[in-house]
Amino acid sequence: MTDIAARRADLFATFDRLGIATTTHEHVAVFTVAESQHVKDTIPGGHTKNLFLKDKKSRLFLVVALGSAVIDLKRLHEVIGANGRLSFGSGELLEEVWGVKPGSVTPFGAIADPGGRVTVVLDQAMMEHEVLNYHPLENTATTSIARADLVTFLKATGHDPLILPVSQPPA
């Protein structure tokens, strides 16, 4: 079993242990929100994007919002309580801390961060959807999960999420 397959098995075992029902859809690898349109068309629920960010004091954040959300990165630090402007974390840091490669970023990576180095921020508008969709640690599948179960999972991994209005209202 490959490392990612073992970690994915651990993820689903954690869902089972927590009594969380999910549905997973296998598909070709998608690396961007734009590339995933064919996936969105066949899977109901809110489809998302995930931004792995760090502030000037190297605090790490995962900001999770709807794929269509407009986020003002120049002002985001004010909303989430970061120390100064935010920048994207490197792919190497992402893999080290969150256990996923760029293109596979997901809140489910919390399972690889037992020390709680990353603060998870869930966009309030995204949380209006009953069902949300994320990669299960790799971008060759999409897992659907109820919003309340997402919060349960994050709390169980030591990542009590901040639910904040990080996206701009539609114009």
In order, the DSSP letters of 23-42 are: EEEE-S---STGGGHHHHTT
Which pLDDT score, from 0 to 100, does residue 114 have? 93
Q: Tell me the per-residue pLDDT of 56-103, one tens digit each, with 9 for 90 and over.
A: 999 999 999 998 899 999 999 999 999 999 999 999 999 999 999 998
Helix, strand, or coil (residue 138)? coil
Q: How far apart are CA 144 and CA 134, in angstroms?
A: 7
Domains defined along the chain, listed by start: 3-164 (3.90.960.10)
Question: Which residue stretches of the chain have pLDDT < 70?
Answer: 1-2, 32-38, 170-171
pLDDT at 12: 96
Q: What is the pLDDT of residue 64?
A: 98
Question: Scanning the structure block, which residue is given the tokens 């954690």?
Answer: 14
**pTM of the prediction?**
0.92
Share of the chain above pLDDT 70, in %: 91
Tokens 């904040």 correspond to 164
pLDDT score for 1: 41
